[in-house]
Structure 1
Amino acid sequence: MLPYIGSGHYCYANSSSMLLETIGEKVSPAVLEVLSGVGVGAIWYEEQKVIYFGQVIPDRGVSHALELLGFRWTEKSGDAEGEPPLAELRRDLEKGPVLLGPLDMGYLTYNPNAQYLGGADHFVLAYQMDDQAIYVHDPAGFPFVSLPLSQFVLAWKAEKIFDGLFSYHYWTAPKRVGNPTEEELVANALRLYQGIYQESAAAEPNPSILYGKEAILRVVKRMEEEGGLSPAEMGHLSYFAFQLGARRAMDFAIFFSKHEPELAAIKEKQAKQFGRCHTLTVEKKEKELADAMRMLAHIEEEFRQVICAK
């Protein structure tokens, strides 16, 4: 098994790891990513013509991971129609760093690509705030940067992200209250993943949202029967979805390797297939990509069946 080390798109996992580091707890972003459950399954949104290889939004995933690891924490949100709770955030920052997110990347002006990233969600660790700016470690490669409060408030409102469900949202004051063993951690993670699959299986039939194998095969149908993927769809796959999927799957494989070797083998196979899909996407070989995604759909269904049978 050949692990990969790199930043990827693990913004919430990296930020969570930094938050726990502030209380002397060392938990790798890879473990936090796996325990979040964000990378479990797949979902297709018909209206937007977009697939995500995962069914849980990061905002839920951070809390899943902290809970499974035995932490208690304070989680806060605000009303998108109300005033931003800057005074409350300032008081919490005086006690210690906080994990902020989702933030709308289009307003993170320290990022030179911000103008192209509007509507994309992001997570950072904030460690200080004054009357002019907030100071953060951004895991996308921007340590010790500052953001004017006028821009921060717009990013923090996150009104374009998940319909404004998590405006002015953050986590603070983590504290360890339990010490699960490796075996307990794996067992509890399996229950989380089973719940994710059960929730999608119990969802009301909706042609605008597909899950799992059917979500992946919908992309195949776009390529073979509907004139091919749009530039936006190809961009999403080549710059984000497949490379993230490959890294997540490999981290799952490593997590499972000791106690669940069958699941580890499936996830390693999936990681390699994600990598193949990425290569074919960049090479613009849609016919071969369609075949590769059929195999990806088969692997996803295999993983779901094995998980749900436990």
Structure 2
Amino acid sequence: MHMQLYYGDIPLCYTHSVAMVLHAYGYDFQPPYLEALMAMGNGANFLNDDPKHPLVFFDNGEPDISISNCLQMLGFEYDEYYLRPSDEMDIVNIKENLASLLKNGPVIVGPLDMGHLTYNPNHGYLKGVDHFVTIYDLIGDELCLHDPAGYPCMQMNFTDFLSAWQAESIAYKRGSFSMWGNLRRVETPSPAEIYHKLSLTMKERYESGQSNVIQAYADSIRSHGLNSQQKQLHDFFSFRLASARSNYLSHFLRKYDLERAVLKEKMADLFGQAHLANLREDFISLADILQDIAQLDNQFKEKCLQYKGRE
């Protein structure tokens, strides 16, 4: 019997924001399905180059680019807006663009810096943490938004929201004040076509991503353990997120590629075990588990790189 599909409180703000906006446009795609199409939860990358205590994220994609990819895979066109670092900041223009998109329905916005979302009682501890929400109305200078971190029907002053939306502390963004709206479905790709597009995306991300990160991380933990910053990241975020992503992708792949689906299922289980070893501060066990994950990810990577697609 294969692993059941997980539903629950997982920090997939970008996916939940896309699901909410698609629903408003009349399309009912479930978050686990959308998250599989985001192709975020494969491989890993170093966020810093500390030889003893590196910070590692278990993904090889970026949320803003993945939102665009996901919408395109499903056959949607959309209007988008963002400010590159070289662009001049024009607050009136940003507001006008948002208001224009809102005429057609809610808008996906992000990345945001959670440290500036003052309706969240923990915002003071969340500076530099990236986030996505949906805006569904703009009344004068008041934004109405749904925040998938557990804050529906929030209101925030537009000027106050800009400091979050500028996302100065978020390194990966393609630009500040990023938004997607005015969705229209111009194609209805078949499930097989969607699987093909996803497989190409996974192949491309492995080709361009960092290699052997998980094995290197296992070696570093075996030698140096974890510092408080690493441990906190794993206590609250990374292993449970990686487990859910692997679970969702496994369920999606099961219809098309059983070998890849089984590898992802095993990784989902091991990431759950990694969370428990981290809580126990059993760093030797954690290193062993991560080494097993690294081997499975390498097998999964090989199968992704071998993907040829439709003849």
| Counterpart mapping for 1:41-56 below 5 A | 41-47=43-49, 49-56=54-61
Unaligned stretches of 5+ residues in structure 2: none
Find out whether 1:151 has 2:160 as its counterpart: yes
Label 1:253 to 1:141 Cα distance change in 2 as closer, same or farther (>3 A).
same
Deviation of the 1:163 alpha carbon: 6.1
2:303 to 302, 306, 310: 306
Q: For 2:23 and 2:183, locate their aligned partners in 1 and report how far apart those are by CA, in whole Å.
A: 10
Q: For 1:39 and 1:248, locate their aligned partners in 2 and report how far apart those are by CA, in whole Å.
A: 5
Partner of 1:82: 89
Partner of 1:110: 119
Q: For 1:60 and 1:146, locate their aligned partners in 2 and report how far apart those are by CA, in whole Å.
A: 27
Secondary structure class of the residue paired with 2:176: coil
| Counterpart mapping for 1:191-230 below 5 A | 191-200=200-209, 211-212=210-211, 214-225=212-223, 227-230=224-227
Find out whether 1:283 has 2:292 as its counterpart: no
Deviation of the 1:306 alpha carbon: 1.4
Secondary structure class of the residue paired with 1:16: helix
Find out whether 1:127 has 2:129 as its counterpart: no
One-letter code aligned to 1:82: M
Aligned residues between the structures? 298
Q: For 2:305 and 2:262, locate their aligned partners in 1 and report how far apart those are by CA, in whole Å.
A: 16
Q: For 2:261 and 2:270, locate their aligned partners in 1 and report how far apart those are by CA, in whole Å.
A: 14
Secondary structure class of the residue paired with 1:60: helix
Secondary structure class of the residue paired with 1:77: strand
1:17 to 4, 16, 19: 19
- Percent identical residues: 31
For the 8 Å contact 2:62–2:172, the answer to whether it is kept is no
Secondary structure class of the residue paired with 1:162: coil
For the 8 Å contact 1:246–1:271, the answer to whether it is kept is yes
Deviation of the 1:164 alpha carbon: 5.8
One-letter code aligned to 1:120: V
| Counterpart mapping for 1:224-263 below 5 A | 224-225=222-223, 227-263=224-260
* CA deviations over 1:256-310 (Å, ceiling 9, x no partner): 1111111110010010010000110111111111111110111110100111122
Secondary structure class of the residue paired with 1:6: coil
Partner of 1:204: none
Deviation of the 1:90 alpha carbon: 2.0
* CA deviations over 1:49-71 (Å, ceiling 9, x no partner): 21111111100000110111111
Secondary structure class of the residue paired with 2:251: helix
2:36 to 28, 34, 37: 34
Question: What is the CA RMSD across the aligned residues, in angstroms?
Answer: 1.5
One-letter code aligned to 1:118: K
For the 8 Å contact 2:64–2:174, the answer to whether it is kept is no
Q: For 1:113 and 1:17, locate their aligned partners in 2 and report how far apart those are by CA, in whole Å.
A: 25
Secondary structure class of the residue paired with 1:26: coil
Greater mean alpha carbon deviation, residues 48-57 or residues 132-141: 48-57
Deviation of the 1:194 alpha carbon: 0.6
Partner of 1:99: 108
Q: For 1:168 and 1:303, locate their aligned partners in 2 and report how far apart those are by CA, in whole Å.
A: 35
For the 8 Å contact 1:157–1:164, the answer to whether it is kept is no
TM-score, normalised by the number of residues in structure 2: 0.92
One-letter code aligned to 1:65: C
Secondary structure class of the residue paired with 1:3: coil
Q: For 1:86 and 1:67, locate their aligned partners in 2 and report how far apart those are by CA, in whole Å.
A: 25
Partner of 1:205: none
| Counterpart mapping for 1:144-183 below 5 A | 144-162=153-171, 165-183=174-192
For the 8 Å contact 1:11–1:123, the answer to whether it is kept is yes
Q: For 1:109 and 1:169, locate their aligned partners in 2 and report how far apart those are by CA, in whole Å.
A: 20
For the 8 Å contact 1:98–1:126, the answer to whether it is kept is yes
1:71 to 66, 70, 76: 76
Unaligned stretches of 5+ residues in structure 1: 201-210
One-letter code aligned to 2:218: V
Secondary structure class of the residue paired with 2:177: coil
One-letter code aligned to 2:64: D
Greater mean alpha carbon deviation, residues 73-82 or residues 62-71: 73-82
